[in-house]
Amino acid sequence: MIWNFTKMQGAGNDFVVLDGVRQHIEMTPERARALGDRHFGIGADQILLVEAPSHPEADFRYRIFNCDGSEVEHCGNGARCFVRFVHEQRLSGRNPLRAEIATGLLVLDQGADGEVRVDMGQTRFEPEALPFDTQGLASRPCHDDTLWTLPLADGSSPELSLVAISNPHAVQVVDDVDAAPVATQGPLIESHPRFAQRVNAGYMQVLNRNEIRLRVYERGAGETLACGTGACAAVAAGIRRGLLDSPVRIHARGGLLTVAWDGRHLRMQGPAVTVFQGQVDIDALTASFNSKEPAQP
């Protein structure tokens, strides 16, 4: 079966985007893994699928699959690429667009400057929203936030802010993101058993009250060059910790994002770029992906 696809990126977080409105797309975790593979497939952090909506007020349904095959609740950089895709593919001329995601509706506005503004919806901070098992864990109040100390197998015990932007985030403050143990500690947080649905692990360096640097070890994808929901989570955590004031400029390794938070709604702005378009024989691609030697333990 041949699928048309578009490769896109938002601040270096990259996506395979599929039109599931004008073509029949049956996505599976295996196919998502094959499409996202950077050697056997097209290569991407996430796969985005645009479908006809089931929500009466939505223009489209927007589904997100990590490159490990897991389907997830939200993707902020992907939301900006989604609206550019819908307009460029002439699926709709409406602006702003309303996208149906797992937990509700997103309002997406493409500006004349090419930047896309996304109302990321409401944000929750209680551990149950992630979910996160706090039983027996030490915590301490920090301004309006609560910091949880999570002992890890590498001997470290980071203090984490918990934030749910539909998807789960654990954010810590570091002195220097370049020196942060993202590659070694990030996976230990991402898959820690206290996070029943796993978690995105954010590392935030505060430059001033309106500017941060951020790295994120993403659930189901590893470290990405930018994470939109991670940027929103870091801003909400930084404001609750009394370290930041809205709006905040976020320097990710792949580019610049801006997030504003009024205590209820998070609004994010940033780039969305079409890289190339193509066609893929999904059955042949999946077969060759499956033919490789299983990962050595």
Ligand X SMILES: N[C@H](CCC[C@H](N)C(=O)O)C(=O)O
Q: Which residues are catalytic?
A: 75, 227
Q: Are 12 and 255 in contact (CB under 8 A)?
A: yes
Binding site for ligand X (CB under 6 A): 13, 45-46, 64, 66, 72, 75-78, 167, 200, 218-221, 224, 227-229
Closer to ligand X by Cβ: residue 139 or 196: 196
Closer to ligand X by Cβ: residue 161 or 200: 200
> Closest approach of Cβ 170 to ligand X, in Å?
11
Going from the C-alpha of 202 to that of each of 5, 10, 25, 53, 87, the distances in angstroms are 30, 18, 33, 32, 32
238 annotated to a ligand binding site = no
> Closest approach of Cβ 270 to ligand X, in Å?
9
Strand-pair category, 97-101 with 60-66: parallel
Closer to ligand X by Cβ: residue 125 or 209: 125
Closer to ligand X by Cβ: residue 41 or 78: 78
Residue 275's nearest CA partner among 118, 84, 90 is: 84
77 annotated to a ligand binding site = yes
208 annotated to a ligand binding site = no
Phi and psi angles of residue 25, each rounded to the nearest 5 degrees, phi first = -115, 120
Q: What is the CB neighbour count within 10 angstroms for residue 175?
A: 8
